[in-house]
Copies of this chain bind each other. A is one copy, B any other.
Amino acid sequence: MSRPKPLSGFPEFLPAGRIVEQAVLDSLRSTFELHGFASVETRAVETMESLTRKGEITKEVYVVRRLHAAEGEASDDLGLHFDLTVPFARYVLETSGHLAFPFRRYQIQKVWRGERPQEGRYREFVQADIDIVGEGSLAEHHDVEVALVMLEALEGLRALGVPPVTIHVNNRKLAEGFYRGLGVDDHLAVLQRVDKLDKIGPDAVRGLLVDELGMAPESADKCLALATITSADASFVDAVRALGVRNDLLDEGLEALASVVRAAAKVAPGRVVADLKIARGLDYYTGTVYETELEGYAKLGSICSGGRYDSLATDGKTTYPGVGISVGVTRILGVLIGRGKLVASRSVPTCVLVAVDSEDTRDAAMAVASRLRSRGIATEVAPKADKYGRQIRYAERRGIPFVWFGEGSVKDIRSGDQSDADPDTWTPPASDLRPTVSAG
């Protein structure tokens, strides 16, 4: 076998990068659990029927079949999940009798999409989702809650060197009500065109609205004006009112969005902003929608998105409304690790290497290592009896900070300091106990 090449779109980290990824995932998990979200892990495959109910998305699905499927065995009926929402909806329906609602879950798993790979866009990547799902109904304060929990989770990553984020919020009802107030019937057609604002600019969008949808130029201008409104407090309400459009659904949307922004501003001022151009394309959201910008990485697009869906799932009798938000972990880390912006202090968990000067003393070295490990200090024994100088170079190559000699002497190989030590009491500095992660 010759040296294999990486598969485009299927990123894999070297051990040091994986340590960064583990630190990020551990931190996210810790925040989610502090807020009472329970972990759910679903199988990687769903039935194609379940995956293809969302129209457009089918083109991105990976189909799975057994290489030697038996005669008559249904093939091509399973696919890899492309997000964690569809599997979660299925899980809720399948297990609802065993769940207590509102059910709060987080889910950190890989998903697969057959997209064209580019920086920040992968065919296999990790998502971390939180959702709250009700049985029949779900209170609106959860729309604030999931945004704030995710903000706290992402803020928690700043200690590791991840840049700060801003969550942008809108409400589907607001835009729909506004368009209806302008006399538009097909509000989705308007939404889809306004959603192109960042890509093609306001003049082109105005052109589409007037030429393709036959909208009056002054109405098109109002749609564009709406999309430019943004505020970190409830002042956006007045800005919308000033456009002079009146509609009940618009009022409902304004009120809902204002309450989200007001509640968030109390806890995290300036970090959750109303942004009336946020549309979330063709997704299935029905109320609040979220997108998130990573400071300094606007070109990555939204690194964390979600929203409220009135019917995440329904079994005909009961409907389960939900609200959720999903962070694209690999999208962030692929770029930050790839560019050396997030680095681990070493590429191994090991804190201490116990030296072995001859194979006769390997048992004694193993005993020392065992005593260190019993107190939580990650330790390995030198793989080969060798001169101490070579063992120090071996530790250096792996980034192991301490080398232990004989029964009771330890050397910090960075400073060269060596001192007597007892394997039952010696403790490394807290910052050396485990690999740490920081901005590169």
Q: Is the CB of A378 within 8 A of B98?
A: no
A19 to chain B, nearest CB (A): 7
Q: A6 CB to closest chain B CB, in angstroms?
A: 7
- Cα distance, A6 to B93, chains bound together (Å): 11
Q: Are A67 and B15 in contact (CB under 8 A)?
A: no
Judged by a CB distance under 8 angstroms, whether A222 is at the interface is no
The chain B residue with its CB closest to the CB of A52 is B67
Q: Does A142 reach chain B (CB closer than 8 Å)?
A: yes
Chain A residues numbered 1-60 whose CB sits less than 8 Å from any CB in chain B: 1-7, 10-15, 18-19, 21-22, 33-45, 47, 50, 53, 58-60
CB-based contact A4/B94 at 8 Å: yes
Assuming A12-B42, A102-B383, is B36 touching A3 (CB within 8 A)? no
Q: Sort chain A's interface into a size bin.
A: 35 or more
Within the complex, which residue of B41, B63, B142, B376 is in contact with A12, where a contact is CB–CB below 8 Å? Answer: B41
Smallest CB gap from A39: residue in B:
B18
A398 contacts partner chain B, Cβ-Cβ < 8 Å: yes
Which residue of B14, B66, B315, B350 contacts A1 across the interface (Cβ within 8 Å)?
Answer: B315
Which stretch in A104-112, A164-172, A240-248, A296-304 binds the other chain? A104-112
Residues of B within 8 A of A1 (CB): 50, 53, 93, 313-316
**Known contacts A58-B68, A313-B1, A378 near B33 by CB under 8 Å:** yes
A390 interface residue (CB < 8 Å to B): no
> In the complex, are the beta carbons of A124 and B378 less than 8 A apart?
no
A102: B residues at CB distance < 8 A: 383
Q: How far is the CA of A22 from the CA of B316 in the complex (A)?
A: 33
Closest CB in chain B relative to A208 CB, distance in Å? 27
Q: Which residues of B contact A21 (CB under 8 A)?
A: 41
Given known contacts A36-B349, A105-B15, A3 and B315 CB-to-CB distance under 8 angstroms = yes
Give bound CA distance, A5 to B95, whole Å: 10
Q: Are B43 and A10 in contact (CB under 8 A)?
A: yes
Give chain B residues whose Cβ lies under 8 Å from the Cβ of A3.
93-94, 96, 315
Q: Is A61 among interface residues, defined by CB-CB distance under 8 A? A: yes
Whether A348 and B36, one on each chain, are in contact in the complex, defined by CB atoms closer than 8 angstroms, is yes
CB neighbours (8 Å) of A18 from chain B are 38-41
Contact B380 A36 (CB under 8 A): yes
Q: Is A79 an interface residue (CB 8 A)?
A: yes
A266 at the interface (CB under 8 A from B): yes
Partner of A112, one of B44, B349, B370: B44
| Given known contacts A64-B80, A95-B14, A383-B102, A110 and B44 CB-to-CB distance under 8 angstroms | yes
- Which of chain B's residues have a CB closer than 8 A to the CB of A91? 12
Asked whether any CB of chain B lies closer than 8 Å to the CB of A345, the reply is no
Chain B residue with Cβ nearest A7:
B43
Q: Is the CB of B35 within 8 A of A373?
A: yes
Contacts of A142 in B (CB 8 A): 383
Q: In the complex, how many angstroms separate the beta carbon of A366 from the nearest chain B beta carbon?
A: 8
Q: Residue on B with the closest CB to A67?
A: B61
Known contacts A5-B94, A18-B40, A141-B362; 6 further A-B pairs (Cβ under 8 A):
A4-B94, A38-B347, A58-B67, A58-B68, A63-B66, A267-B366
